Structure 1
């Protein structure tokens, strides 16, 4: 009898621990959502235009992202007078790459693996909340220090088994770092993004600075947002693949 009571005590303790953990994750997500501006305000965002700039090996690069939330994404990057265009719409994608970027200068279908990697750019706002809406499993795995600040470490497990990690500030409840793995051409690469300089645009909070590994090798690269426009009119034609010349 004592053994049975003991076993039930262990089960009860395990269940209680799970409930506390689940509530803690829910509390973190709720505070994070509020810190980002609240669900109601974000639900009203249908389109976004974001302009950014960054420097690689002395070259200043300007980029513009046009997003129809949940439907389509278009980016334009200007490098030394050359423009690279990338478009994702649903399960399809195309791009135009100048010769200096390994392309032909003509519109081409984007590789399926590249579409998969880029598809999340159709979303705006929190990577953590987007994952929740997509049905990903989110677990609180730790609380630790990041650059001297306390952060909650939340593991995201997507339906396809891919795993990512979001580091949420314990004081501001904003995401300070996001880490995941990207598979390109069979080569798995670790990617890490650090976010800072959050600013409000129409009551919604965006990180205006992002730091990641320099794609040219060595050190890090910082990308700074110069402007964000909420709910601009976007013509459907900008997402249509042009006919080759």
Structure 2
């Protein structure tokens, strides 16, 4: 009798687990969007300006990013008195890299893979907002430890086949990490971002700390947000690729 009761209980647990797994991906995405402010508030954001500081091997780099929905993105970083510019004008990406850093000092086109990856930053609110409308699919893979917490691991497959693993905190429903593999300069490149230090700006939640494994190994590159401005006035001319000197 005890064995029968145990078997029945086990079957109920299994059935419940299978049922929840079938629905959890959508539920997790919905709870995440609600937790970071809601889709309507995010869609009301038309432009954003972010001031950042990045620590790389003991060197601090200051940067400013300006994004205008559907129009463009521009990031300027100051390194040892030299300015690096990366920009998108619609679907066209370009950059200016100083000669002391291996560049030409002239505007150059970004590789298609880099342009595409950069364009992902223009999706305010993150990858899970409107993923269905964008033709993407979402699957719950299971749970995986992120900083000693069993986070939900979601597999986001975009319309073009690109896959991003999205890790969601079970307590806050914030995205705490993403991983992906992309082909950049004809090489498979692993991309990992870890997010923490979440703060509210006008009712919307932003991660103020982003950590990226150093491509040279031996530690992390850490980016800290200094300030965020929502819906600032933006001159679209800043996204245009300048002529060579």
TM-score between both structures, scaled by the size of structure 2: 0.88
Cα distance 1:132–1:220, how it changes in 2: closer, same or farther (>3 A)? farther
Q: 1:125 to 1:79 in 2, by over 3 A?
A: same
C-alpha deviation, 1:91, in angstroms: 1.9
> Structure 2: how far apart are the matches of 1:204 and 1:134?
22
Q: Is the 8 A contact 2:138 2:156 kept in 1?
A: yes
Matched, 1:178 2:178: yes
Alignment of 1:89-238 (within 5 A): 89-129=89-129, 131-238=131-238
1:73-92 Cα offsets, whole Å, 9 max, x none, are 11101001100111112221
SS at 1:159 equivalent:
coil
CA drift at 1:174: 0.3
Give the RMSD, CA atoms, in angstroms.
1.9
User: 2-side partners of 1:78 and 1:130: how far apart?
Assistant: 34
1:69 correspondence with 2:81 = no
Shift of 1:20: 4.3
Q: SS at the partner of 2:212?
A: strand
2:12 is aligned to none
Aligned 8 A contact 2:42 2:204 in 1:
yes
Distance 1:48 1:214, change over 3 A: same
CA contact (8 A) 2:56 2:222 kept: no
Match of 1:55 in 2: 55
Q: Is the 8 A contact 2:39 2:129 kept in 1?
A: no
Q: Deviations over 1:60-114 (max 9, x none)?
A: 1001110012331111010011001111122211111101222111112222232
* TM-score w.r.t. length of structure 1: 0.88
Structure-2 separation of matches of 1:176 and 1:148: 12
| Structure 1 unmatched runs, 5+ | 1-15
d(CA) in 2 for partners of 1:215 and 1:145?
23
